[in-house]
Amino acid sequence: MRQKLFGILIIVFLSACERTDDLDRILKFYGDAKEDIGFSVAIASDGYIIGGQMTEITRSAGMISDASKKMGIIKTDFDGNIVWKKYLGGKLQGFGSKIILLDNDTIVCAGQVTDTVLLQTDIFVVKLAPDGSEVVRKIFKRPGNQTSTDILKTWEGYLLLGTTDVERTPVTDSSGNKAGRKDILLRRIYNNLGQIDTPSVTGYPNDDYGVALKSNPDGGYIVLGTTDNTVSGQGGNNFLLWRPNIYGFAAQSVVIGTTDDEYAADLEVLDDGYLLVGTIGMETEDQSVFIAKIPRNISNAPVFTRKIERTESWSVKAVSRYRTNSFVVAGKAGTASSSRMLVFVVDPEGNPVPGKEVITGSSGIQTAYDVVSDSEGNIIAVGKNNIQTNTLITLLKFRF
């Protein structure tokens, strides 16, 4: 009876909150019972593609008999109405971390699944046709646990960014890694998702993980991550910027940070360098936003660093280009127990633009995990909306 009543409450909530006309804003929620989260969004020719986690629910006599977290992909029109949705991974639990679209609207989603026997996490990649039909899928297995946080279309297929906890020897003060600690992983794959060569692994002896991957105008790629490696004058966690070559192997890396703890979120490639965004402080602390511009030669000193503080805790998850020379940043405002979706714009110097800030949400926990903008100035963010024990995927579309 309790589960039935909760389902009714969710339906009422969804019907009441589908759209608000404030700022010509569209606010949509997707999901069922349990936990659904939007981690990535991309703009297709006829709508939006949302990638993340969707819980596949099985009911018997109106009661939930089984719930399994899956890589989930949703196709919507430009008003956020569902065109189709897919649960992927078969019997394996998992989620999608990153969605990309090819020129013909083919969808590629990278994430991970958990082996039901070994309980080992493996990278999972799926390619779908524009109508949602599956073209090919691939699970990449190796000793230890692997995750995937980003994927990029390349000259030979795709490049996957993730982590691995496999031991890397010899372990010294500045190289190698202990078993169970995280290293940054780059895996090259063909268009058919077959593996190319041995994956590239880099990092310091403790924990390093990559969050964003872009093509580098000078050739090769640029990776942003977080490391707990420090040098004099830096806090316990810092940004790690790595420039691998076209084959994904180490070419240049640098640790960037202040006396605070910085946790990397995302980056954009500029004409003369890179814009990095992240958060200062752990989830349990008051948090603020950290933005830095790094020159093309990443070994040189930062062009600037910015610490954006407010009276309430702010943290960020994503950045994207906005109009001509600005950037839209998304995350959350508030603490772990009570937060709202946060979207704001910064200028090329990393300064917040007055009047271009939206904080929206109801009671509970709301977070934006990804954000994009289109040529008309529409901003589209996806994330989650947590109500008691139920979490729904959120799509927010608006224009300043």
pLDDT bracket for residue 23 (50, 70, 90): low
Residue 26 lies in a domain: yes
Give the pLDDT score at 164.
Answer: 93
Give the pLDDT score at 315.
Answer: 96
Q: What is the arithmetic mean of pLDDT over 15-37?
A: 72
Residue 1 has pLDDT above 90, yes or no: no
Q: Is 196 exposed, middle or buried (0-12, 13-18, 19+ CB in 10 A)?
A: middle
Task: Return the minimum-mean-pLDDT range out of 260-264, 282-286, 353-357, 376-380.
Answer: 282-286
Residue 17 has pLDDT above 70, yes or no: no
Which residue from 216, 227, 231, 232 is spatially nearest to 264, judged by alpha carbons? 227
Residue 84 lies in a domain: no
Residue 319 lies in a domain: yes
Residue 322 lies in a domain: yes
pLDDT bracket for residue 232 (50, 70, 90): confident
Residue pLDDT, tens place only, 153-200: 999 999 999 999 998 888 877 777 888 889 999 999 999 999 998 899
Q: What is the mean pLDDT of the chain?
A: 90
Residue pLDDT, tens place only, 89-102: 999 999 999 999 99
Residue 67 lies in a domain: no
230-234, 296-300, 333-337, 385-389 — most confident range: 296-300
Residue 49 lies in a domain: no
pLDDT above 70 coverage of the chain, percent: 94
Torsions phi, psi for 7 (to 5 deg):
-60, -40
Q: What is the arithmetic mean of pLDDT over 70-84?
A: 97
Residue pLDDT, tens place only, 39-52: 999 999 999 999 99
Q: Rounded to an integer, what distance in angstroms lies between the CA atom of residue 333 and that of residue 328?
A: 15
Token pair listed for 86: 């897919």
Query: For the chain, how many structural domains are there in total?
Result: 1
Written as one letter, the residue type at 274 is: Y
Residue 275 lies in a domain: no
Domain that holds residue 391: 1-30+312-400
Residue 24 lies in a domain: yes
Residue pLDDT, tens place only, 243-280: 999 998 877 899 999 989 999 999 999 999 999 999 99
Residue 10 has pLDDT above 70, yes or no: no
Q: Terminus-to-terminus CA distance in the chain, angstroms?
A: 44
Q: What is the arithmetic mean of pLDDT over 27-41?
A: 94
